[in-house]
Amino acid sequence: MKILVLGGAGYIGSHTVYRLIEEGNEVVIFDNLETGHIEAVHPQAVFYKGDLRNRAEIDSVLDKETDIDAVIHFAANSLVGESMVKPLKYYDNNLCGTKVLLESLVAHGVDKVVFSSTAATYGEPQHTPILETDPSNPTNCYGETKKAMERMFYWTNVAHGLRFVSLRYFNACGAHISGSIGEAHNPETHLIPIILQAAQGVRDHISVFGTDYPTPDGTCIRDYIHVTDLAQAHILAVKHLMNGGESDIFNLGNGVGFSVKEVIETAREVTGKEIKVVYEDRRAGDPAVLIASSDKAKEKLGWKPEFDSLPTIIETAWRWHSTHPHGYSE
């Protein structure tokens, strides 16, 4: 297959590109490198620097790369906290970017897209585990833009026959098994990278946000899913569309929840390092428990997470962080 990956220099995008190439596919990447890293671009991929909001830039790639089988779309901003203080940045990049993309795809006759959605489309869960049919009431602007992207794809499918698969990730984590690419955000806000930075002395401690949640140890519970398993799900979703499958929405998680304290304890065991903890107040907008039901992806896409134990997830992340203490800048 020849796949155009938008945002292929980002965290989940770069891991998906690696997996596509490992499986013998041809990959074209389009990325504005605003949050992505040129060092994360697979050497065998064809790379174009460009911004989705610029119609001429995406058009010129599709004019040149005429035989694209499908698109995987990761090109978006994805920080919940930032989206609450800069909502228009999220509407601009996530929604305007996707609108321009869809116009260009329709004009070029490309009719299959797999794209990143999020558990944040659900908002406060009604029950656990969360099903795809559960109500979608986002409590932050990031989730709201992803929900709107899903609807934009839905109506484009109705009008133009462009089929899509939306993948709602829970907590993406871990790194490529080789340790050569991994998670590198600036600033970093995600739990596992911050814990590992505390383990290696890049930061003094990990702040635990809230110890009074209605959970067994009082800290939030999340469903941590390895980035390579997410990558595999994207490839299976592309195959689903290539085989004539209908547009659909799937959760991607392990179906098992771990508390913040459990993640820290596992990181201590895996790294053998002291990890200093400071207990702080709750962070605004954090639901107590988020756990996915991914039965639908397993049944309909044949997805089977491989790196599904927390120690394995943290081991792969540690391989990356311990060799790249300052991310791609070293």
Q: Which residues bind ligand UFG (CB under 6 A)?
A: 78, 80, 118-120, 142, 171, 189-191, 194, 206-209, 220, 222, 260, 283, 286, 290
Tell me 280's DSSP state.
E
Instruction: Give the shortest CB-7-to-ligand UFG separation in angstroms.
Output: 14
Strands 112-118 and 163-169: parallel
Tokens of 114: 């797999």
260 vs 297, beta carbon nearer ligand UFG: 260
Instruction: Give the shortest CB-23-to-ligand UFG separation in angstroms.
Output: 26
Tokens of 8: 């292929």
48 vs 91, beta carbon nearer ligand UFG: 91
Sign of CA dihedral 213, 170, 265, 188: negative
70 vs 208, beta carbon nearer ligand UFG: 208
**Of 196, 193, 142, 207, nearest to 169 (Cα)?**
142
Task: Please name every residue paired with 73 in a beta bridge, in sequence order, or none if there are none.
Answer: 6, 115
Distance CA 92, CA 83 (A): 11
| 224 counts as catalytic | no
Q: Where are the extended beta strands (E) located within the chain?
A: 2-6, 26-31, 46-49, 70-73, 112-118, 163-169, 171-173, 206-209, 221-222, 224-226, 248-252, 258-259, 277-280, 289-290
Instruction: Give the shortest CB-159-to-ligand UFG separation in angstroms.
Output: 29
Q: Which amino acid is at 300?
A: K
Q: Please report, to the nearest 10 degrees, the dihedral formed by the alpha carbons of residues 195, 200, 205, 209 taken in order.
A: -10
Distance CA 174, CA 227 (A): 6
- Location of structure tokens 């990956």: 5
Sorted by sequence, the CB contacts under 8 Å of residue 91 that are 6+ apart come out as: 141, 145
Instruction: Give the shortest CB-124-to-ligand UFG separation in angstroms.
Output: 10
Distance CA 105, CA 169 (A): 24
Instruction: Give the shortest CB-326-to-ligand UFG separation in angstroms.
Output: 18
Question: Which listed residue (11, 90, 122, 142) is catalytic?
Answer: 142
Instruction: Give the shortest CB-3-to-ligand UFG separation in angstroms.
Output: 23
Three-class secondary structure of residue 138 per DSSP: coil
- Location of structure tokens 């074209």: 28
Sign of CA dihedral 320, 325, 327, 328: negative
156 vs 219, beta carbon nearer ligand UFG: 219
180 vs 207, beta carbon nearer ligand UFG: 207
178 vs 189, beta carbon nearer ligand UFG: 189
Which residues are identified as catalytic? 142
